[in-house]
Structures are given as structure tokens and as C-alpha cells.
Amino acid sequence: MNIEEYYKEYMQEIYARAGAEEDFKEEQFLEEMCDFLVDQAVIEGYDSAYYIKKHSGIKVDAWYFNKDKQELTLFICDYDSTSKDLRTLSQNDIDKIFKRAERFFEKAKEKKFYREIEESLPIYGVARDIAHNIDSITKINFFLLSNATLSPRFKNTKRNNILGFQTVYDIWDISRRARIAKSGKSKEDIIIDFTEFVNDGIPCLPASVETSSCRSYLLAIPGKMLAEIYDKYGERLLEQNVRTFLQFRGGVNKGIRNTLKNQPEMFFAYNNGLTVTAENIEEKNNRIYSATNLQIVNGGQTTASIFMAKLQNKNDINLDHVYVQVKLSIIATEKVDEIVPVISKCANTQNKVSAADFFSNHPFHKRIEDFSRRTIAPSSDGSLTETYWFYERARGQYANKQAKMTSSQKKQFLIQNPKCQMFTKTDLAKYENSFAQLPHYVSKGAQWNFGKFAEEISGKDESNKGLWDKNELQFNELFFKQLIAKAIIFKSLDKQIMKQDWYGGYKANIVTYSIAKFSHMVASKGLFVDYLAIWKKQQITPELESQLILISEIINNVITDTEENVTQYCKKEYCWRRIKDIEISLNNSVFVNLIDEYHTNDIQKSAKKEQKVLNKINAQVEIYEKGLIYWSKLIEWLNKENPNLLSEKQLSILSSTLRMNTIPPSEKQSKIILDINEIAVEEGFYFEE
């Protein structure tokens, strides 16, 4: 697919998201781009805040403020839907666009500016917060989001610092998005040039033999360099699951801070160091000059703490004598998704980080993915077209499925798997936690909310089991259909909000709070939403839509009635408590969409029984799919490396896999075999074809 084809396909997606509302296409573009950047870990979050003054040359579309990092991020869109052809952004265009966002900041840092803005507008809270926190801001990130492509003559985005503030400029255009899509990777490559931070690269000690399938090195990175790298690349360096874990570890680790302050020369001796991976390195004469896609799989807290300690204690912390030990493993691109989670799990074992173990290959994700590939959704328009709700367990799956298809195959795939029915892990968490009456979680951002959802499913630690370990049978086909019904409700309301006369911003907050409030109203009556009815129709009734819009207008009035910044207010639990206490009546016409507890318990009980049978069948299928070679290698490994690991009975049952082509293991044997396989993997068994 060339850039023009990608552009046309991408724009069709924006048009579909916006529907017939021309005025909302730029807002949908902003949301899509920012959601993508959050998923890429380029940004931590964002809040929409459209503001433009053409005569003053001022414009801003969204913002984000991280008080701990002392970072302000401003987003500005360059969007045009009038041209059918792909536009080109010149150096002059870019300078003008960034200048508009710069002017906004220069105005906003003065209190006079926000006092002249209408308080009901979202930009009022943004300008007020910037002015009140101006002394806490040391760095400003400017993001230009464009549906054009950069001119080949474009040089760079380096610009002068604004009034002494450190500034960073980043451009995300269509060509950059297209390159990532074409690469088939889940995210953009990061190439770290170590010579930018230290002369002549980093000394290293090879720690693997030439015949090893994984090259490893030991090295010591200067603390100052580590802080600077983290400052530049941020959470893109943190492997996804470590990033999730760190969200629940605020501030600077006291032990690390004390060592940095009082005994910096002992940091190397006291600290466990980092475990990192990379897809490739440039190495010569035992010095590493660059690394491609460096990921910290253990030691994220150490890295973030060094950065934060340096940032918060500029006069007290001197990193000149600090060194951090690093274990670096080079993992081939095609093996990253398979090996990195294992390294991360092993490296984090001593810390008992179960939230960080919530990988994309967790059985919960695999089960949802399995249902999404084989559960046909009913047609909403009465046609015979069969469609699926495609669950993207790992980013890029949806695009990768189409990568090697012919035009006709791709057309058929998109008919059966429409883009509007593709959803991700963070989408799933957003739907579930909204209906679970946790809108303040959802309002904290996709990644934070997903982290909390991960804890709920997989558990916090060994003593606090998650829902999966307590009863995985509840995650069955009924659960999947109910999940899709929740998605339909969520998407329907999301699409209607911007059409309302009273709408003035904060759509994301209004939607999650409205759904949470509706869920609370239904539960208080001892009733349940008839999700299966919504699944069968693949749409909500007009009566339910009217009820949700009525609730959303009240929610809008409540969340904007505060002295706080609205988006920050929505992240607080007391905001949800206030909304829960508001009296809103259920319309009589809505009760047809609800069912009683008896009916709900009955269908849930049947669904669990069906899942129990399905689990037995799936266990046999999984054993067969692993193949005879796999089981032969496992038995060989056990006899050679760990002969006392299993009992004679277990070995006998495992040996039945060698006869799988003639007499396959029974359902009962299959479960035991899979348990044995899990034990062996934990003990170090690794199968390489």
C-alpha cells in the first residue's frame, strides 16, 4: 500500500467515526491520533480543549500536564477534509502552525488571559491551570498532528526555547503513520544513539557464546545518561507490562533517592540494576554505539526514580558518580513477542509483580480473541452478511492480517471484519470499567485504566487472586456477547454526544460517567441490562438512547459545575460519589431493555457449563496443535535436565502425547498434560523449532 492509498483509507475511517457531522471530523481525527500516541507510549494522556483565535494567530486542540515530571504538552491539529488529494506540509507551514501553539502558551502563562475567557469553555480550565502552575513547568512538548505529509525538503523542528523553557517539537503526519503500518510492527522503531550522551559509546562485556540464539552483554550505564535517555524517550523505553506496573508506584523510591543523595558512588553496589532487551545494536571493539528498540523489562522504577530524583532535587542530587548495571539481551524481531514476556516475568519474579504479568498472551486475552474470531455477529440491517468483532490482542494484528492479502481478499476481510468493529485491550477495559461504575478510573486515561482492569483480572499478588484465578469459567461466550453489547452502547452514546445542543467539550468524561450512572440506576432497582437483546440486534433501542442522552446532559451540568479543572475533577472518586447521589428516574419505556436477577443467573449458569465443556475440548486441541515434535522435546528435556520434576504417573500421562496420532489423550489427561507443560516452562523449558 502506497502513501496515497493509506491516506484515502485512513480518511475513510475518520469519516466513518464522525458520521454525517462535518464539524466533528477534526475532533475525531484528534482523538484517533492521540489515542494512537497513547497506545504507542509517546504520550501519557491528553484532554481535548479546542481553542482558536485566527486574528491573533493562536490555536490549540488538546493538552496534558504532568506535574511530577514538570512537563506541559500542547497539541495542535493541521486537518483538512476538503481536499481529496494528499496535501504536503512545507517548512514554512510547520513553522506557522507551531507558532500558533507557542503564542497560546505565551498568553496562557499570564493569569490575565484565563480571566478574560468564558468559564464554561474547556480552554478556561487549561489556561487557568497553566497560569497557576507556571512555576512548576520546566519543559513544553509541542505536538503537530496532521493529515498531510511532510515535504521532502523539510529539515527539522528545532526551534528556540520559549522564555527559558525547554521545548520539544514532534510531528505526526500521514507518512509517519503509513511507515509504521507498512512495517508490520506494533510501534515505531526507536534508535538510540548512545554517542549523543557519551563519547565513544558504552563499554560492554559479551556474556554469551557465539552459538547462542540470544546474544547478551553486561554493561554499566552512567546515571546521568540514563536520566537523559529517559527524558528524551520516556515510557517508550518501558516494556508494556512494566509501564502498567509503574502506574501504581508514584514518586521516587526513597531508598534510591537516599543512595543518590548520600552515597552516589555506592549506587552500583546497592541497586539490582536493569534488565533490557533490544532488537539490534551497533557494536565494535566491545563498545555499543546504538541500540534499536531498547526496552526495559525490569528496572523501570530504578530508571524513573533516577530521572525524577534529578528533576526534583537539582541542587541535592549529583549523578556524576552514579552507575547502573545493565543486562542486555538482543532478541530477533520475530521473537520479541515470544521471548520478551518470559524475560520480563523471570526478571520481575522477586518483586511479585502480577499486574506487570498481564501480557497480551495471558489466557484471558487469548480467550477473548478466540471468541472474537469465531463468534458471528447478527446483522443489524437484516442482510445475510456475516461479521465479526475483531479483538486486537496485540497491536497491529488487524493490519497484519491484511498485509499479504490480495485486493479481493482484503475487501472480503473488511466486509467480515469492519474497522468499526475492531477493538483493543484498552477499549475493552474502558467498556468494562464504565459499566462496573468506575468512571473515575476511565477518566484517568487508557493505560492507567487498563492497568487497574489488569489487576482486577489477574490479581495484585499471590495472596490477592484475580477474577480469572477465582473462576475463569465466567469468561465465556456469554461474557463476550455482553462485552460487545457494552461496546455498542458505549459507541452509540459517544456518537450522539457531540450532536447535542448543550455539548461544549469533555466528551470522554461525559460518556463514561453517563454509562456508569445508568448502570448504577439499573442496579439500584435490582435489575440488569438485557445485553443479549442488544447483541442480537447489534444496536440499542431509541428508548435506551434517549435515556442515555438525558443522563448525559445532567452529567455535563454536574461535572462542569466545579472550581477545579473539569478533566482533573472527573478523575477523582468524590466526583463519582457526587454523581451517584443525584436522583435521576428511569423512563418507563426503558424497562423493556432490562431483565431480572433470576433470568440473569439462569443464563450465566448455562454459559459457565458450556465453557467447562469447551475448556476440555480446547485442551485436547491445544495438545494436538503443539505437535508431536514439541512433546518429544519436552520429554527429552525432562529426562535430561530435570528427571525428578515429575512423578511416574505424571510421566506416564505425558507419554500419551507420543501416541496422539493414533490414541489421543483423554479430556482428563489433557488437562494434566497442560499443567505439566506449564510447570516445565516455569522450570526453564523452552521450545525452539
Residues 116 and 227 in one domain: no
Q: Is the pLDDT of residue 300 over 80?
A: yes
When divided into structural domains, the chain yields a total of 4
Taking residues 464-474, report their average pLDDT: 87
Amino acid type, 621: V
Residues 579 and 618 in one domain: no
Please indicate, yes or no, if residue 357 is contained in any of the structural domains. no
Q: How far is CA 626 from the centre of its chain?
A: 30
Please indicate, yes or no, if residue 358 is contained in any of the structural domains. no
Please identify, among 183, 203, 225, the residue that sits at the C-terminal boundary of a domain: 183
Residue 205 zone, left/alpha/beta (φ > 0; ψ -120 to 50; rest)? beta
Helix ranges (H only) for 40-76 are none
Taking residues 546-553, report their average pLDDT: 97
Which pLDDT does position 245 carry in this prediction? 53
Please indicate, yes or no, if residue 163 is contained in any of the structural domains. yes
Taking residues 397-425, report their average pLDDT: 88
Which pLDDT does position 599 carry in this prediction? 86
Please identify, among 595, 622, 642, the residue that sits at the C-terminal boundary of a domain: 595
Q: How confident is the model at residue 251 (pLDDT cuts 50, 70, 90)?
A: low
Please indicate, yes or no, if residue 472 is contained in any of the structural domains. yes
pLDDT in tens, 486-510: 999 999 999 999 889 999 889 999 9
**What integer best gives the mean pLDDT of the chain?**
87
Q: How confident is the model at residue 610 (pLDDT cuts 50, 70, 90)?
A: confident
Contact 221, 197 (CB under 8 A): no
Please indicate, yes or no, if residue 534 is contained in any of the structural domains. yes
Residues 74 and 172 in one domain: yes
Which pLDDT does position 351 carry in this prediction? 45
Write out the residue range of the structural domain in which residue 509 sits. 363-595
Amino acid type, 243: R
CA distance 207 to 16: 52
Which pLDDT does position 689 carry in this prediction? 63
DSSP 8-state assignment for residue 147? S
CB neighbour list of residue 398: distance below 8 Å, 6 or more residues apart: 390, 392, 417, 419, 422
Which pLDDT does position 133 carry in this prediction? 93
Please indicate, yes or no, if residue 688 is contained in any of the structural domains. no
Please identify, among 299, 331, 351, the residue that sits at the C-terminal boundary of a domain: 351
Residues 109 and 219 in one domain: no
Judged by DSSP in three states, 506 sits in: coil
Residues 511 and 620 in one domain: no
Taking residues 86-96, report their average pLDDT: 92
Taking residues 81-93, report their average pLDDT: 89
Which pLDDT does position 212 carry in this prediction? 61
Please indicate, yes or no, if residue 560 is contained in any of the structural domains. yes
Residues 201 and 331 in one domain: yes
Which pLDDT does position 258 carry in this prediction? 85
Taking residues 551-571, report their average pLDDT: 94
Taking residues 241-260, report their average pLDDT: 65
CA distance 393 to 350: 27
Q: How confident is the model at residue 160 (pLDDT cuts 50, 70, 90)?
A: low
Residues 167 and 240 in one domain: no
Higher-pLDDT residue of 393, 572: 572
Which pLDDT does position 177 carry in this prediction? 93
Residues 96 and 114 in one domain: yes
Residues 195 and 232 in one domain: yes
The set of cell numbers assigned to 579 is 454523581
Taking residues 452-456, report their average pLDDT: 88
CA distance 197 to 286: 18
Amino acid type, 494: D
Contact 128, 114 (CB under 8 A): yes
Which pLDDT does position 352 carry in this prediction? 43
Taking residues 135-155, report their average pLDDT: 92
Buried b (16+ CB within 10 A) or exposed e, 635-652: bebbeeeeeeebeeebee
The set of cell numbers assigned to 23 is 464539524
The pLDDT > 70 percentage for the chain reads: 91
Q: Is the pLDDT of residue 648 over 60?
A: yes
Least confident of 69-78, 174-183, 230-239, 249-258: 249-258
Q: Which neighbouring-strand residues pair with 22? A: none
Residues 632 and 653 in one domain: yes
pLDDT in tens, 309-349: 888 766 678 888 999 999 999 987 777 666 776 676 666 55
Nearest CA among 112, 116, 111, 153 for reference residue 132: 111
CA distance 94 to 149: 11
Q: Is the pLDDT of residue 543 over 60?
A: yes
Residues 473 and 453 in one domain: yes
Please indicate, yes or no, if residue 601 is contained in any of the structural domains. no
pLDDT in tens, 18-58: 765 556 788 889 999 999 998 888 998 899 999 999 888 99
pLDDT in tens, 359-395: 566 789 989 999 999 999 998 776 777 899 999 987 7
Q: How confident is the model at residue 353 (pLDDT cuts 50, 70, 90)?
A: very low
Q: How confident is the model at residue 357 (pLDDT cuts 50, 70, 90)?
A: very low
Residues 147 and 209 in one domain: no
pTM (predicted TM-score): 0.81
Which pLDDT does position 193 carry in this prediction? 95
CB neighbour list of residue 352: distance below 8 Å, 6 or more residues apart: 461, 462
